[in-house]
């Protein structure tokens, strides 16, 4: 077996704002395997400034994996414990290698174009008119679950956008999720959650920065709307520590990004722990190219999930790889009449 890797820079169609700044490009890496006449590909979806494996020796680790590919999936996955995005690339590349179709890792009704997955429509931060424009586009496209980034512009303006949605649509017509990306301080967080709760919000992701377990536990106990942990899960590899986090904070939901938390294996471990504590969860992509998004979408379908997932990021880039993935009427669809771009 031979292995190689390559870097790919994804360009955003529009600068995409979060509470941590504006994104214009996204660096990602492909891990490619060849054995006899078979080949496989996996994406190592690194996100600068957020992934816990955004480290100076990242490329050296990819090189090491390629040089030691003979060790096999399980051993390499364990060796890359501190590099969850590389774990994800390893898992998907090996699955791709043994699949009849290298892009159909989890054959199902989804990959046969017989079923779909509901997803949320994502509204990025910006000025009020920009956010309203995005909202109108999402509603016109058939989305019935909207996720809005909050915490970067004036909070009153963000509330105004939410108010405008609720004046037009009830919670039975449009589900609203918000994502603060840790933008609120512990002192102001509860007050802001109360302001948001007026608009019958489904949930808020990561209201305060991760690592403040005591403050987050207080919020989850006293919140007027459900809280979902997101960044809080990043960088926690040990199963006992995962359990301690959920025991200590007891959130209403967790949000799972496989590229950030150890691929499918690491994500499944979180799911198993969450189920034991009756904690809800959903799956979200992390700005991967269509290679990673394809793998995550197929795996998610096998979980028999309830509610919209966060898998609608494939259309954000000008130079994403052409793929069978489409977004239609608030659902992600695998359209078998479309083919993949050739990956160099």
- Convert 82-141 into a string of H (helix), E (strand) and C (coil): CCHHHHHHHHHHHHHHHCCCCCCCCCCCCCCCCCCEEECEEECECCHHHHHHHHHHHHHC
* Strands, sheet with 117-118, edge to edge from the N-terminal-most edge strand: 117-118, 331-334, 325-328
What pLDDT sits at residue 19? Answer: 54
What pLDDT sits at residue 135? Answer: 85
Q: What would the pLDDT profile of 174-183 be if each residue is shown by its tens digit?
A: 999 999 999 9
Residues 6 or more apart whose CB falls under 8 angstroms from that of 87 comprise 77, 80, 81, 262, 263, 265, 266
What pLDDT sits at residue 343? Answer: 73
30 by DSSP, 3-state: which?
Answer: strand
Contact between 219 and 225 (Cβ < 8 Å) = no
What pLDDT sits at residue 342? Answer: 75
Structure tokens at 335: 């359209």
Whole-angstrom distance, CA of residue 156 vs CA of residue 135: 17
Whole-angstrom distance, CA of residue 132 vs CA of residue 165: 9
- Global confidence as pTM: 0.94
Residues 6 or more apart whose CB falls under 8 angstroms from that of 188 comprise none
Decide whether 2-98 matches 117-334 in CATH topology: no
What pLDDT sits at residue 20? Answer: 61
Q: Which CATH number describes the domain made up of 2-98?
A: 3.30.390.10
What pLDDT sits at residue 344? Answer: 60
Reference 206, options 187, 189, 224; nearest CA is: 189
Return the DSSP state at 261: T
Catalytic annotation present for 275: no
Whole-angstrom distance, CA of residue 270 vs CA of residue 263: 11
Catalytic annotation present for 149: yes
Among the listed residues 147, 149, 209, 242, the single catalytic one is 149
Q: Which CATH number describes the domain made up of 117-334?
A: 3.20.20.120
256 by DSSP, 3-state: which?
Answer: strand
**Positions in the chain short of pLDDT 70:** 17-21, 344
Domain ranges of the chain: 2-98, 117-334
What pLDDT sits at residue 72? Answer: 97
């Amino acid at each position: 077996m031979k292995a190689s890797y390559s870097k790919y820079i994804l360009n955003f169609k529009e600068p995409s704002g979060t509470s941590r700044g504006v994104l214009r490009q996204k660096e990602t890496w492909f891990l490619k395997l060849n054995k006899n006449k078979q080949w496989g590909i996996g994406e190592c979806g690194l996100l600068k400034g957020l992934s816990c494996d955004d480290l100076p020796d990242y490329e050296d680790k990819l090189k090491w994996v390629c040089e030691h590919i003979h060790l096999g999936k399980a051993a390499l996955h364990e060796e890359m414990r501190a590099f969850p995005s590389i774990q994800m690339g390893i898992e998907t590349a090996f699955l791709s290698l043994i699949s009849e179709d290298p892009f159909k890792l989890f054959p199902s009704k989804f990959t046969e174009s017989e079923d779909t997955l509901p997803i949320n429509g994502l509204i990025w931060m910006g000025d009020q008119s920009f956010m309203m424009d995005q909202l109108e586009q999402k509603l016109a496209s058939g989305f019935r679950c909207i996720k809005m980034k909050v915490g970067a512009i004036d909070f009153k303006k963000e509330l105004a956008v939410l108010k405008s949605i609720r004046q037009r649509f009830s919670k039975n017509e449009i589900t609203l999720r918000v994502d603060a990306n840790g933008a609120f301080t512990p002192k102001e967080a509860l007050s802001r959650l109360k302001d948001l709760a007026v608009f019958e919000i489904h949930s808020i992701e990561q209201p305060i920065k991760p690592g403040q377990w005591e403050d987050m536990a207080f919020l989850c106990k006293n919140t007027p709307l459900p809280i979902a942990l997101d960044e809080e899960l990043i960088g926690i590899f040990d199963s006992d520590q995962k359990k301690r986090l959920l025991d200590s904070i007891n959130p209403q939901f967790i949000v799972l990004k496989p590229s950030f938390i150890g691929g499918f294996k690491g994500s499944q471990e979180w799911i198993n722990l969450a189920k034991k504590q009756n904690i809800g969860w959903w799956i979200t992509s992390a700005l991967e190219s269509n290679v990673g998004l394809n793998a995550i979408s197929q795996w998610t379908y096998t979980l028999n999930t309830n509610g919209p997932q966060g898998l609608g990021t494939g259309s954000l880039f000008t130079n994403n790889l052409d793929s069978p993935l489409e977004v239609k009427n608030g659902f992600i669809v695998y359209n078998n009449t479309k083919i993949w771009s050739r990956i160099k």
